[in-house]
Amino acid sequence: NKIDHIGIAVTDLDEAIETYKKLGMELLGTETVDDQKVRTAFFKVGESCFELLEATDPSSPIARYIEKNAGRGGIQHIAMQVDDVDAEIERLKGEGFLMIDETARDGAHGNRIAFLHPKSTHGTLLEVCARKK
Ligand code: ZN
C-alpha cells in the first residue's frame, strides 16, 4: 500500500530521539519488543514513519547490524504496508522469495510483520507489515 516505515538502527535511542525531535518530527511513541530484543521509537513522517531501533541485547539483529556497519547506525530495513501479512507471505513464497519469517509475528505498535531474506531482495532487508486486526 505504501512505505509503512523505514527502520533505522541507532546506538543510543535517547540521544537519537532528541536529534529526530530537532529535525522537527513528531514522536508517536516508544516500545520495547522483547521478541526482537530492541527498543523502538516511532516518528511520523507524513503518511509513513521512521522506526528508530536500539538493541537491548548483543544477540539482537540490530546489534549485529551495527557490528557489521563498523559500530555505526544506519538504515537497517524498509517496511511495506500490506492488508494481509499472512496472504502476502504465501504469495511471496509462491514467487520464490526466501522468508526470514515463514509465518507472521507481532511487531511494535500492534503490527503483524514478516521479514524477507536480503538474499532474495538484492541485499535489502524488507519487511511486510499490517495493522493488527
Ligand atoms: Zn520495522
Q: Name residues of the chain where pLDDT drops below 50.
A: none
Close Cβ partners of 14 (under 8 Å, ≥ 6 residues apart): none
Q: How far is the CA of 127 from the centre of ligand 1 (A)?
A: 6
Q: How far is the CA of 77 from the centre of ligand 1 (A)?
A: 7
Alpha-carbon distance 128 to 35, whole Å? Answer: 17
pTM of the model: 0.92
Question: Cell 530537532 appears where?
Answer: 22
Q: How far is the CA of 113 from the centre of ligand 1 (A)?
A: 8
Q: How far is the CA of 51 from the centre of ligand 1 (A)?
A: 7
Q: How far is the CA of 94 from the centre of ligand 1 (A)?
A: 23
At residue 133, the pLDDT reads 61
Q: Tell me: the pLDDT tens digits for 62-100? A: 999 999 999 999 999 999 999 999 999 999 999 999 999
